Structure 1
Amino acid sequence: MDTQFSSNGNVTPTCQNWVEMTVDKNNVIVAVNASWDEFALSNDAPQLAGGSVIGWSLLDSVSGKVTKTFTQALLDLARSHEQKIMFDYRCDSPQVRRFMRMHISQGDADSVNFLHEHLSSEYFSHLAIYQSAAQRGRDTLVRCSICNHVRHDGIWSTPDYVSRTHFASHPVRVIYGICPSCQGLL
């Protein structure tokens, strides 16, 4: 996914290729497009490119019980309605905030199509490194799978604020969930 950087550090996608994925009626990934591979490779995830995710269960690929439940609800909603579901979300890397829009729609034979539109990006002022934890512990925070906000000391804050003010350059261990604001999307 080509990007163009401006002098203020903002990033704008230079192409309008959407990252696409389709799951079948059993929620197994049956198709991805070339932009999927490009996105995976640009995020140092070559293991997710080249069709390697074909045959994977979408829900087995989702981290966190709450996020799995939310994803299943989105799948059910897409299959039960003839209208598209659309919402904005974040898909950050340690260096870049990515603002995305997801479009979900019912396909043929109870399949579901996911289209991810890259709206814009901007650099973090510092590295914001988050590591997935296998389970919740004393030092583990909850990170929203939709907006990327992080719950620290009972308050949901932006990931860059939490990593900069509370963890300096140390990685932040997280499990994934859905914040109260994003739960309202359903």
Structure 2
Amino acid sequence: MPESYNYRIDRDNILVSVSGNWDRFSAENAGADSVSAAEVVGRALDEFIADDDTRSLYALVLDGVRGSNRPIAFRFRCDSPTQRRFCELRISPGDDGAVDFESRILMTERRRPVPLLQADEQSDRDEFLKACSMCKRIAVNDAEWVEIEAAIGRLHLDRRERTPRITHGLCADCHAGIVASL
């Protein structure tokens, strides 16, 4: 059975608990930018969602889970510099308006290291690339999202001394898929 990573929010969307393996996974995934359990618990879920589109979608999902008293599940990616991680997030209603999140890694694929995904790499603090929070594709223009390796080639990021920082949003395909599952 795949390892799962869990967290719970209360009725006010404040993180009240995380699973015991949180710190290890955070360090493996984010490097120097990792966020420990002690730094997460007690903070609002919204503080960890970078963009308005994703924040609005999470509000819609949470309202749906709480209102229907039924869980929802969807697939997403949680990549590291050396592997693609194909995951599933299950969001379930709890007692008194609490909501439980269970994230499971379903499959991994090794790949050549992608320095752009290393949080501690030298990066340009003023330039950003938008990655989809769900599928991890990169926006190369307003309407096109491609895998990170293709984006590196198309945007000539491998020829630059400093790389852009990654910010997050939602591609239209992932947004539509999640809304359809509600």
TM-score with structure 2 setting the length: 0.81
Among 18, 27, 32, the residue aligned to 1:41: 27
* Corresponding position of 2:72: 85
Tell me the residue number matched to 1:96: 83
Q: Indicate if the aligned counterparts of 1:59 and 1:72 stay in contact, CA closer than 8 A.
A: no
Contact 1:32–1:51 (Cα < 8 Å) also in 2: no
Q: Are residue 143 (structure 1) and residue 131 (structure 2) matched?
A: yes
* Structure 1 residue 70: Cα displacement: 1.4
Residue aligned with 2:84, SS? strand
Give the ranges of 4+ consecutive aligned residues of structure 1 lying more than 6 Å apart after TM superposition. Answer: 131-134
Q: Which residue of 1 aligns with 2:11?
A: 25
Partners of 2:18 and 2:37 within 8 A in 1: no
Shift of 1:47: 5.2
Indicate the larger mover: 29-38 or 164-173: 164-173
Tell me, yes or no, if the aligned pair for 1:146 and 1:178 is still in contact at 8 Å: yes
Structure 1 spans left out of the alignment, 5+ residues:
1-14
Identity %, equivalent residues: 26
1:22 counterpart SS class: strand
Partner SS for 1:51: helix
Range with bigger deviation, 175-184 or 152-161? 152-161
* Partner residue, 2:38: 51
Alignment of 1:170-181 (within 5 A): 170=160, 171-181=163-173
Question: C-alpha displacement at 1:169, in angstroms?
Answer: 6.3
Cα deviation for residue 158 of structure 1 reads: 1.1
What is the CA distance between 1:32 and its match in structure 2?
Answer: 0.5
3-state SS in 1 of match to 2:38: coil
Instruction: Measure, in 2, the Cα distance between the counterparts of 1:169 and 1:126.
Output: 16
Q: Let me know the Cα RMSD of the aligned residues.
A: 2.5
Q: 1:98 to 1:128 in 2, by over 3 A?
A: farther
Superposed CA offset, 1:116-156 (max 9, x none): 0011212223415147998xx8x543221111111103311
Whose helix fraction is larger, Structure 1's or Structure 2's?
2
Per-residue deviation, 1:52: 2.7
For the residues of structure 1 that align with 2:7 and 2:25, how far apart are their CA atoms?
A: 12
> Is the 1:163–1:172 contact (alpha carbons within 8 Å) kept by the matching residues of 2?
no
Amino acid at match of 1:176: H
Residue in 2 aligned with 1:7?
A: none
| Partners of 1:17 and 1:142 in 2: CA distance | 28
